[in-house]
Chains A and B, each alone.
Chain A
């Protein structure tokens, strides 16, 4: 079995003359949780909808589990699960009926009752979908995406509009997917979500990837650490790749002068700072 679940190279998509995706390349390994992070309108949803087979691309190549999603092969559809941003249900069926109905189209589905448990909807199994709350509908979305026991799951902004407790629950569900060995492609505009869940993150802006890597490594190339202290009431900041050497020099000099380095701080830029740095317009 190939080690790569998704391979995207030079992907472009325009709506009329408006470019939405302008040359995106990335690959997702099997068993990995990969996050596409970026502000609204960056091209994340267009990208995943091309991978899901909903949209045709304008240029570039895309391979998902060995298939071109544009071919809409049934084999591929049987192996992926899709949670779209907003997607309806038949209003007058119960949660159980909906899950059982969609299970039938897959060759080796999960047990519907177990799938409902997995997303925590046991007590709502007999409720009609029209009577579910927003968060419960989102969990049913996840149940319907999982009932086919897919190898690869697309989650497009899975927690938008959730309260903090519901987000934690959803995050645990995504972690359990990774523990099951599933590959997950997640889009989000929440930094903490990408940081919590993704093994690797690509930051998308204006249809391009502006940074890519494990969340912990996504710092600017230079000045990975910032060392600062107060001197004469003003904060002095140094940036360095080698904080050991810098700190040694600073403390040695301070001791030689008989001073203390008041308010000494050593910090790495958080993903949020990197993200804002990368996605905010220069001069904005």
Chain B
């Protein structure tokens, strides 16, 4: 089989595995949607708040389905010796990783779609103002957080400590990046930190695409792109099969 066909096989295999692990599927898939429903129902009935929340949850979903999921998957498969087994077969490394990343990307795209649909049907948020921009930021976001997730897996020592490591990054980041409320009212130090990190810029970009916020799309894309380059470098350079 060609490397592309093998990547497709791996992708299909990963999809099967994903749905067979209900707790992982729940946390990666249902939890962000649950948060959206809870927060929207509790605090954000007016459209200003929804204009923050919908892109915020979309950005958080991208991070949860790629960064968190891939960091965990790589650590698990390395610790279990699955990566080592695969390394001993003719499956090209690129096909294997493409299948695995592709599965995470599909989750992210489905999530963003669900967030947008829930916003529209439940909370009367208009359909996205700029579909191509939504596709562009979703694509850049999954590439960025996917590669950062694999890069991050290299510093996680074992699967037992993986959730602690992931949450140590994920939770502070969603709180400073304007997922639930606008990040503009943060203390200057935290705002500077959020500005330096990619999630806020991804959410800004998604906000421009989904609810038509005015902003610097090229600037936001440049920051996310910079982190993507760093993520890809560290993901590939320090990848360990064992």
Residues of A bordering B, CB below 8 Å: 52-54, 74, 77-78, 82, 84, 86-93, 97, 101-102, 104-106, 144, 148
Interface centre among A89, A97, A105, by most B CB within 10 Å?
A: A105
Q: How far is the CA of A92 from the CA of B88 in the complex (A)?
A: 21
Q: Which residues of B contact A54 (CB under 8 A)?
A: 84, 87-88, 241-242
Q: Which residues of B contact A87 (CB under 8 A)?
A: 81-82, 84-85
Q: Is the interface of A mostly helix, strand, loop or mixed?
A: loop
Count of A-B contacts judged by CB separation below 8 Å = 60
Q: Which residues of B contact A53 (CB under 8 A)?
A: 88
B185 located at the interface, meaning its Cβ lies under 8 Å from any Cβ of chain A in the complex:
no
Q: How far is the CB of A97 from chain B (nearest CB, A)?
A: 8
Q: How far is the CB of A94 from chain B (nearest CB, A)?
A: 10
The answer on a CB contact under 8 Å between A77 and B90 is yes
Q: Which 7 A-B pairs have the closest CB atoms?
A: A88-B80, A88-B81, A92-B20, A82-B88, A77-B90, A87-B81, A105-B91
Q: Which residues of A contact B82 (CB under 8 A)?
A: 87-90
Q: How far is the CA of A99 from the CA of B13 in the complex (A)?
A: 12
Q: Which residues of A contact B92 (CB under 8 A)?
A: 74
Specify the chain B residue showing the minimal Cβ separation from A102. Answer: B89
Q: How far is the CA of A92 from the CA of B22 in the complex (A)?
A: 11
Q: How far is the CB of A134 from chain B (nearest CB, A)?
A: 14
Within 8 A of A (CB), among B212-242: 241-242
Q: How far is the CA of A88 from the CA of B13 in the complex (A)?
A: 16
Q: How far is the CA of A101 from the CA of B11 in the complex (A)?
A: 11
A selection of 25 A-B contacts at a CB cut-off of 8 Å is: A52-B88, A53-B88, A54-B84, A54-B87, A54-B241, A77-B89, A84-B81, A87-B81, A88-B77, A88-B79, A88-B81, A89-B80, A89-B82, A92-B17, A93-B17, A93-B20, A97-B16, A101-B13, A102-B89, A104-B6, A105-B6, A105-B90, A106-B89, A106-B90, A148-B90
Specify the chain B residue showing the minimal Cβ separation from A101. Answer: B13
Q: How far is the CA of A84 from the CA of B82 in the complex (A)?
A: 11
Q: How far is the CA of A143 from the CA of B16 in the complex (A)?
A: 21
B-side interface size class = 20 to 34
Specify the chain A residue showing the minimal Cβ separation from B12. Answer: A101
Q: How far is the CA of A91 from the CA of B81 in the complex (A)?
A: 12
Q: Which residues of B contact A90 (CB under 8 A)?
A: 13, 17, 82
Q: How far is the CA of A53 from the CA of B90 in the complex (A)?
A: 12
The answer on a CB contact under 8 Å between A84 and B20 is no
B1 located at the interface, meaning its Cβ lies under 8 Å from any Cβ of chain A in the complex:
yes
Specify the chain B residue showing the minimal Cβ separation from A55. Answer: B242
Specify the chain A residue showing the minimal Cβ separation from B83. Answer: A88
Q: How far is the CB of A6 from chain B (nearest CB, A)?
A: 16
Q: Which residues of B contact A93 (CB under 8 A)?
A: 13, 16-17, 20
Q: How far is the CA of A88 from the CA of B75 in the complex (A)?
A: 13
Specify the chain A residue showing the minimal Cβ separation from B78. Answer: A88
Q: How far is the CB of A67 from chain B (nearest CB, A)?
A: 13
Q: How far is the CA of A238 from the CA of B21 in the complex (A)?
A: 69
B191 located at the interface, meaning its Cβ lies under 8 Å from any Cβ of chain A in the complex:
no
Q: Which residues of B contact A92 (CB under 8 A)?
A: 17, 20-21
The answer on a CB contact under 8 Å between A105 and B81 is no
Q: How far is the CA of A86 from the CA of B87 in the complex (A)?
A: 14
Q: How far is the CA of A157 from the CA of B238 in the complex (A)?
A: 30
Q: Which residues of A contact B21 (CB under 8 A)?
A: 92
Contact flags B5-28 to A (C-beta < 8 A → 1, else 0): 010010001001100110000000
Q: How far is the CA of A53 from the CA of B85 in the complex (A)?
A: 12
Partner of B89, one of A88, A89, A97, A148: A148
Q: How far is the CA of A105 from the CA of B79 in the complex (A)?
A: 23
Q: Which residues of B contact A105 (CB under 8 A)?
A: 1, 6, 89-91
Specify the chain B residue showing the minimal Cβ separation from A78. Answer: B90
Q: How far is the CB of B5 from chain A (nearest CB, A)?
A: 8
Q: How far is the CB of A105 from chain B (nearest CB, A)?
A: 4
Specify the chain A residue showing the minimal Cβ separation from B89. Answer: A105
In addition to A93-B20, A101-B13, 20 A-B residue pairs with Cβ atoms within 8 Å of each other are A52-B88, A54-B241, A77-B88, A77-B90, A78-B90, A84-B81, A84-B88, A87-B81, A87-B82, A87-B84, A87-B85, A88-B80, A88-B85, A92-B17, A104-B6, A104-B9, A105-B1, A106-B89, A148-B89, A148-B90
Q: How far is the CA of A124 from the CA of B9 in the complex (A)?
A: 24
